């Protein structure tokens, strides 16, 4: 499989000596028409990769801020097909890597092979299924790789060595490490589990390692970026969307937060 935009991004950042700022937003929140402009704002502010969340009625891994974002997006009529249209619109103006962040149910309803084909055609670079067990990953991984898409899997502080090996086996693009058990959401401090988890993952893969869940300040970005290849921020961006959904200043506020967080990225070459 040839390298995706995700692979090329991490290769470039490795040469630059800095980690990636990965921004999660729920596609369609506050409306599908606004999402491309919000992605453009995040890119302007310094985001390197965008996780486009597919809104889902039962987002078990997501905290209250992202759950409410899903509810707003669903009310606005956002479906999987809508998110693919959004990706297509983003691609008219940007080459920023796009990772589809979703649950199994919407994928099964859309059709696995159909999603892989259509996602690739619309400019998506990879997919992360939050509730797919890595032990059952083979059919999904085959379909995605056949379409030239990366498959990103999650590992947590509770993951066994065997689970980490399976995550390494089935992941491409990068590996997503959950900094703590529980749901997404802003936290006051970075978990002590991050360093050991990154080290354990690096023993079984040469893929870039990104860390998310609970990161919302430049200091936390700096702390995680010192040990990981990517830092994922979601709830902090979704909170800005929630608080400014009706404001014409929403894109500028998102860009400002991305800029603030990107200022925390450590760089070996600075």
- Whether 125 is a known active-site residue: answer no
Cα–Cα distances in Å, from 176 out to 32, 48, 103, 242? 26, 15, 15, 25
User: SS3 letters for 84-97?
Assistant: HHHHHHHHCCCCCC
* Gap between the terminal Cα atoms of the chain: 34
- Whether 62 is a known active-site residue: answer yes
Is there a cis peptide before residue 85, judged by omega within 30 degrees of 0?
no
What's the rounded Cα separation, in Å, for the pair 254 and 36?
Answer: 13
Query: Which one, of 144, 111, 108, lies nearest residue 127 by Cα?
Result: 144
Find the catalytic residue in 29, 48, 62, 150: 62
Give the up-direction half-sphere exposure of residue 106: CA atoms within 13 A in the CB hemisphere: 26
- Positions annotated as catalytic residues are 51, 62
């Amino acid at each position: 499989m040839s390298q995706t935009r995700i692979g090329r991004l991490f290769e470039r950042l490795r040469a630059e000596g800095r980690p990636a700022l990965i921004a999660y937003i729920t596609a369609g929140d506050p409306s599908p028409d606004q999402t491309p402009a919000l992605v453009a704002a995040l890119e302007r502010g310094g985001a390197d990769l965008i996780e486009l969340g597919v809104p889902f009625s039962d987002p078990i891994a997501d905290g209250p801020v992202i759950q409410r974002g899903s509810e707003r997006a669903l009310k606005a009529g956002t479906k999987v097909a809508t998110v693919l249209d959004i990706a297509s619109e983003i691609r008219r103006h940007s080459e920023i890597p796009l990772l589809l962040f979703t649950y199994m149910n919407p994928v099964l309803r859309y059709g696995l092979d159909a999603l892989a084909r259509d996602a690739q055609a619309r400019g998506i670079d990879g997919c992360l299924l939050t509730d797919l067990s890595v032990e059952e990953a083979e059919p999904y991984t085959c379909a995605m790789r056949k379409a030239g898409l990366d498959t990103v899997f999650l590992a947590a502080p509770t993951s066994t060595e065997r689970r980490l090996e399976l995550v390494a086996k089935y992941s491409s693009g990068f590996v997503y490490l959950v900094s703590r058990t529980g749901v997404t959401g802003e936290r006051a401090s970075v978990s002590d589990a991050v360093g050991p988890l990154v080290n354990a993952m690096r023993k079984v893969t040469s893929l870039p390692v990104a860390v998310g869940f609970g990161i919302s300040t430049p200091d936390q970005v700096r702390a995680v970026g010192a040990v990981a290849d990517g830092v994922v921020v979601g709830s902090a961006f979704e909170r800005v969307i929630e608080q400014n959904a009706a404001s014409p200043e929403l894109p500028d506020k998102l860009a400002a937060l991305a800029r603030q967080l990107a200022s925390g990225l450590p760089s070996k070459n600075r």
